[in-house]
Amino acid sequence: MVAMSAAELKVVPREGGFGAEVTGIDLRRSLPGNVVEPLEEAFARHGVLWFPDQPLDHDQLEAFTLNFGEFGEDPYVAPLAARPHILEVRREPDETASPFGAAWHSDWSFQATPPKATILHAKVVPPTGGDTLYADGVAAYEALSPAFRAMIASLRALHSAGRPYGEAGFYAKEEGRKGMTILPSANADQVWPHPLVRTQQRTGARALFVNPIYTIGIEGFTSEESIALLGYLYRHMTQDRFVYRHQWAPNMLTMWDNRRLLHNATGGYDGCLRLMHRTTVAGEVPI
């Protein structure tokens, strides 16, 4: 078998550079260092990478994930049997619960070391709906005025999984979910502070690092003050000019950078099965 090389890799960015399609490689095969390094560079530059036409089994998905770091921890959701690092994101045709992840968020930002990347591999894609929206926290930060950036530079946001995953959280109360097993826990009420503006490790770029699901306040602010400032930032971050709508196809693998962007799983496919397999890559303490 002929080894892959960086020369075969083709990265085609979207207009504006947020998000890029990657072709020219076979993710079923072991990736040499001279391919992984330009992929890391493309990931840091574009935030979202998608790889069309990549049929993968569980071993191949896990092997691809480990090119970018150790597995991250995925709490509060039951993984596949005998595959503790793979979550099956499944919604049955007759399911009445909302799609998993159907609100703007950054995966597991409530952890002490939130994940670097989420990797999602499409198995069954409905004929309509099911797009994923991505919002670029770097572009949103850079669009703020210098005075506003200076005002928020040293703030720390408080993150917790309590609202969705606590014993009194959303998932503990919902009905109609069939395709996934959610595991509410008292541990979800723990709170972790992180910089509101996060520095990207590889590029040095700054990004807004808050999200409506897991960010519960700003350190030192009253509840009313937090709601006012965070509400403004959420509206700002999710303007159309910062958002990319991603359309899936069977066997497409997509990976995104939780350190710089928000994402939102859309619906619109009631009556159809949607099935994805997901892994996460461990991250670092935000700075």
CA-wise closest residue to 179 among 264, 87, 250: 87
194 counts as catalytic: no
278 counts as catalytic: yes
Give the count of alpha carbons within 13 A of 149, CB side only.
Answer: 14
How far is Cα of residue 39 from the mean position of the Cα atoms in its chain? 17
User: How far is it, in rounded angstroms, from Cα 269 to Cα 286?
Assistant: 36
Residue appearing with tokens 């928000």: 262
How far is Cα of residue 277 from the mean position of the Cα atoms in its chain? 13
Measured between its terminal Cα atoms, the distance across the chain in Å is 43
How far is Cα of residue 163 from the mean position of the Cα atoms in its chain? 18
Out of 90, 121, 194, 278, which one is annotated catalytic? 278
Out of 105, 246, 259, 274, which one is annotated catalytic? 105
Q: Are 62 and 278 in contact (CB under 8 A)?
A: no
Two tokens at 153?
């530079």
58 counts as catalytic: no
One-letter-per-residue 3-state SS of 45-109? HHCEEEECCCCCCHHHHHHHHCCCCCECCCCCECCECCECCCEEEEECCCCCCCCCCCCCECCCC
User: How far is it, in rounded angstroms, from Cα 195 to Cα 249?
Assistant: 36
In this structure, what DSSP letter does residue 259 have?
Answer: T
270 counts as catalytic: no
Out of 206, 263, 274, 277, which one is annotated catalytic? 263
Out of 107, 136, 206, 277, which one is annotated catalytic? 107
**Maximum distance among all Cα pairs of the chain, rounded to whole angstroms:** 62
- Residues with catalytic function: 105, 107, 263, 278
